[in-house]
Amino acid sequence: MPTSVELADLEALAVALASEAGRLIVDERPEELGVAATKSSATDIVTVMDQRSEQLLRRRLLAARPRDAVLGEEEGSSVRPAGWSGLTWVVDPIDGTVNYLYGLPAYAVSVAVVTGDPTLPGEWEPVAGAVCSPAAGEVFHARRGGGAALRTRGAAAGSRRLRVLTGQELDGALVGTGFGYRAQDRARQGAVAAALLPGVRDLRRGGSAAIDLCSVAAGRLDGYYESGLHPWDLAAGQLVVEEAGGVVSGWQGRPPSGEMVIAAGPSLHGALHGALRSAVEEIGRRVTA
């Protein structure tokens, strides 16, 4: 684990990098935004700006932290450099690419640095990170043991500490979620959402996991869950929630992973977990009946 001084430096670098990439994707967004490729399905797109944003982040990291490794959504893992520091930067150059393509404001740049191997579920831990929501003029950031904060620009410029909401009952909770790109995943996730919906205040689907997690930390959502996430979707937002006093887990106390991510305040997390387990088990019984 880096020292407290090192963690503060890593957090500051994450903020600077996420902010710079955020400016890039806003200021240089083409009027006719090109779709460079598709990934898991025809609806899972990569834009030219995804690629440019990640290339910028990699260049800056190579210059500032040449002994650190990098894992990015678009270009995968870099080869661990000679004298590897034990730290890996996990970056999502545009989280919420479909929103970005359509001109919707819920997209972000997520930059985190982790210990361990982020390609292995449960074998890594985020220690500093930032999520820049450039359309909103907001940067969420945190470091391990240092709390979480929200920095805003414009007329409301300033910084404030973040705390998750506490004391909510499940039936009064506003819960965020998201859906994958493959049809079979969407069908299953939609069934879980339909089963959960009658037991909560309402559901929201924003389109960016990083922003949804930070919304839990900021008290804009009571809870959030999603399956199918990758480390770059999760790393920075997870740390922001935890440093804001929240709990982020997978099933039954396991680390969050592609299998499931559940984030909420301590008083709500167990109830949300239980409701989701009940929904998944009921759907499983219907399938096998």
Cα(241)–Cα(147) distance, integer angstroms: 9
pLDDT in tens, 92-102: 999 999 999 88
pLDDT at 268: 98
Q: Are 87 and 113 in contact (CB under 8 A)?
A: yes
Select from 76, 139, 88, 82 the least CA-distant residue to 118.
88
Architecture of domain 4-161 in this structure: 2-Layer Sandwich (3.30)
Which CATH topology does 170-288 take?
D-Maltodextrin-Binding Protein; domain 2 (3.40.190)
Range list for CATH 3.40.190.80 in the chain:
170-288
Range list for CATH 3.30.540.10 in the chain:
4-161
What are the C-alpha distances in Å from 160 to residues 18, 58, 131?
18, 29, 15
pLDDT at 36: 61
pLDDT at 227: 96
pLDDT at 45: 57
pLDDT at 285: 78
pLDDT at 38: 56
> Which stretches of the chain score pLDDT less than 70?
33-46, 155-156, 287-289
Cα(212)–Cα(49) distance, integer angstroms: 22
pLDDT at 286: 74
* Token code pair at residue 187: 């069908």
What global pTM score does this model have? 0.93
Q: What is the DSSP letter of 115?
A: E
